Structure 1
């Protein structure tokens, strides 16, 4: 599965601050001090002076260091092992990167990508989570007693020297060091193409932002800076933040080098807290997820709840029950786009001792939202799947 890179930027340096954490969805230029204004959690402009920084640094988006024309080297100074340099999204460096002895610990989180167009010299600790990827177009050299490696992520380099390759492989118990041309073998063909092109062409989809706001339901908005081979986006929702299901689909724009904005409204949010995530799908079926957004919908837990059984309907009939008695005025089934698929006017008392049957045989397969309007005007909703 390809990596999708979201274009964001963050850096900062204030001595004796315990944590420097960038804001999400922030874009800037590493070498432009003015571009940092508003990019950090404290809102202060800052230029990251690595030799003087005494703080943990966390990158939440995409940072570019240097350009395809002008390299800019990064040097992490010695005796900073008390601090962590953490990448949770993407760091792209046009230049050499050096971690001195006992420099800041390098951490790559799940789905994090660190691309170096140059050489990497590492004398410190490195941890790469299972979904993390480190790519070095030049040589990866490791020496010194601090150069330990942990995690299950992979490293791709043009060449290895010193103890780099043996340290990486020993750290996981299996091979984790590979060459650049093995990126495509592992499903990262777009990254391999991007790296082999020297970073001159953009990565598949550069996401500028993804927002979710409670407004007439929940309003979702996002924008891309560039798109390559982008077929569509799938919007997914969850009530617990772990189990997601599809609630909508928005067509992509294939290939584009212009900013494109997208919107989608979830009209059927029914929990006090909902979670949303965006899935981008290529024409060839490869896909990538963007970050999860948590939304306080303002919906209060109702005393009455509607319960549908089964939630996945195969025989065309579902049973409705409730935890408290109420009188049904209307039952309406909606498809994902909000269109009405079926409506039934009723005058039936529904309670936990009485099941009400709804026939779904005359509607197509797919995801539906079932809304019950009660005699007092209250609305209760649940989700069903018709197979």
Structure 2
């Protein structure tokens, strides 16, 4: 038996005896919704009405499965009459459509491990108040009307999920994505907090297309370094605006290159534990109205304490490297905050003491590339000048490329993979003094 968080909630599903075992249950008026013949009640605890009302639970399923009808709500304002309904998927797959002229207010939308196809047609509107988490493979959201997730949206699976939107798509909170293709082909896709990809799982299915004058507006970008590549991003004919930090150097650069709007062009940011303290390095590609940077520290990601201030360049269109060694009391977390001259600010990124050990000297990412794409080398050597030699070998030991640099004074270096390489695996070796670092590279 499925229960609800509401003590007096009843549980309903469309009546297969009314709609047919392999039919879609279509509610096209309030009278349809209030017709008891159209419903099967599964749990009527504390219930007087024999159809769903405020805070009840509605099950929906697949029209292809016996007794588990897909649902269409169209042509009337359900939210004006009943709110806080919980919609539970009860078969694999499950289908829910909000048609033209329909307005639906949902407390929750739960997949229960079932693949969902959710469609909002033009003129339809769906609001989901609680966090929506979809983890089943091949879950899809098609929005041509208005959809609002008021407590965040998690679309996470290593397989292939799909979001297509040409209407108004609103996420209050974080938007977590994994194994998902996001296509914004019109209207706007707005995320109040960060757009997050936490791991490289499902990376081959992560992509972004913004076209036809559409806009994607996010509070920040927090991507695992291998989760998505610049080649997976196409904002031709659309626009992406990042109002806060963007921690993935290659993705940020690609958004900028395609006309996106990032208030601070941050090329790199990383930190490393050393015997003397925590070393923070970052590089900006350009600066506008930049007064200063502030380093803040915390042990819990709350109650941040200002511990260091570094002057900015004001206005600059050339790359600028910054670094600071934070001695004395050590913290679990550090963050970099940038301030304009009018004292407005943005948080550029958060670092943890556990990101790397004191023996690490270089980070290399991404390790999956296309021909002619660049991988990034981030140096944590506190010396101002670095001499290194880079070798690229195939798997049988043949050297296919070599680069050298002496007195290199930046924390960031981009190595472009030759266009002539065949697809397959290679070994990237970086020699710094007597130390050698290796990274396996896949050219796709």
TM over 0.5: no
More strand by share: 2
TM-score, normalisation: structure 2: 0.28
Question: Larger RCO: Structure 1 or Structure 2 (Cα < 8 Å, ≥ 6 residues apart)?
Answer: 1
